[in-house]
Amino acid sequence: MEAAGAGHAEHQKIGQLRMAELIAAELRERILAGGFADGSTLPKQDELVAQFGVSYPSVREALRILETEGFVTVRRGNRGGATVHAPNIGTAGYALGLTLQAMQVEVPDLGAALATLEPICAADCARRPDRLETVVPRLRELLTVSEGRLDDGAAFTRASREFHDALVGFDPNATLRVVVKSLTSLWSVQEEAWADAQISRGAYPSREDCAAAQRAHERLVESIAKGDAEEAERLARAHLNATQDWVYRTLKDRVIDAASPRSRKRFRRG
């Protein structure tokens, strides 16, 4: 009798897990389809139990699955609930970064990928028929910010990275935009950490070097404004190669950092 009871309990547990996976799959599909907006709350457990016709343990396990995957955050208690986190560029970049870090990929490998793909985005921006209304005004706004920070190395690096993030964010191809923006965000973490370390050692590039980077950004924006895709791609590639050389001098053997608080904070911005 005890063996039969144990077998029944095990069968019931397996059934609950399978049902939980089905519920999680249904809720996941709804989130991905936009049925639950980012930041919204899933129905209460009572409602989910009634909706799916299942037990509370199955619903709780389904929510645990979604929470583990990062789709929801579950708050316990009377005022609890499951807040939705729709995947975005930030979550894609964070997952990519963790994968590369687990593979022990080094910083120059990331830089080489970025130097290949980001210039393509610059060329795509130059081809946009609406570039003078959308791309160029934002990039010039960021140029003004970085110009005002030429005397503060860390602040200038952060402003420059915002410029690069914005540039690739304007690529009209959604797939390329997600992939390259993930890479630029991941590179920004490496470069900002490098800048902080160099400043602490008194070894950050001079104001003249920062001004040279600023002028490179300005020339790039002008080529985009003119619609010269070939020149935009050439300037972007030359600028990336030059600035990455500075970082490689101290990080050439460093594995990509994606798990640090600095990295998580940047990717949460999406």
| Distances, alpha carbon 222 to alpha carbons 28, 139, 176, 236, in Å | 44, 10, 23, 12
User: Do both 55 and 119 map to the same domain?
Assistant: no
Q: pLDDT digits over 141-171, tens only?
A: 999 999 999 999 899 999 999 999 999 999 9
Task: State which residues form the domain around 42.
Answer: 2-84
Q: With pLDDT > 70 as the criterion, what percentage of the chain qualifies?
A: 91
Q: Supply the CATH number for residue 60's domain.
A: 1.10.10.10
Rg (CA), the chain: 24
User: Do both 74 and 119 map to the same domain?
Assistant: no
Residues of the chain below pLDDT 50: 1, 3-4, 6-11
The last residue of one of the domains, among 67, 84, 101, is: 84
- Cα distance between residue 89 and residue 92, in whole Å: 5
pTM of this structure: 0.79
The last residue of one of the domains, among 61, 84, 107, is: 84
pLDDT of residue 236: 98
User: Do both 73 and 131 map to the same domain?
Assistant: no
- Whether 113 and 93 have beta carbons less than 8 Å apart is answered as no
User: Do both 132 and 238 map to the same domain?
Assistant: yes
Domain count, the chain: 2
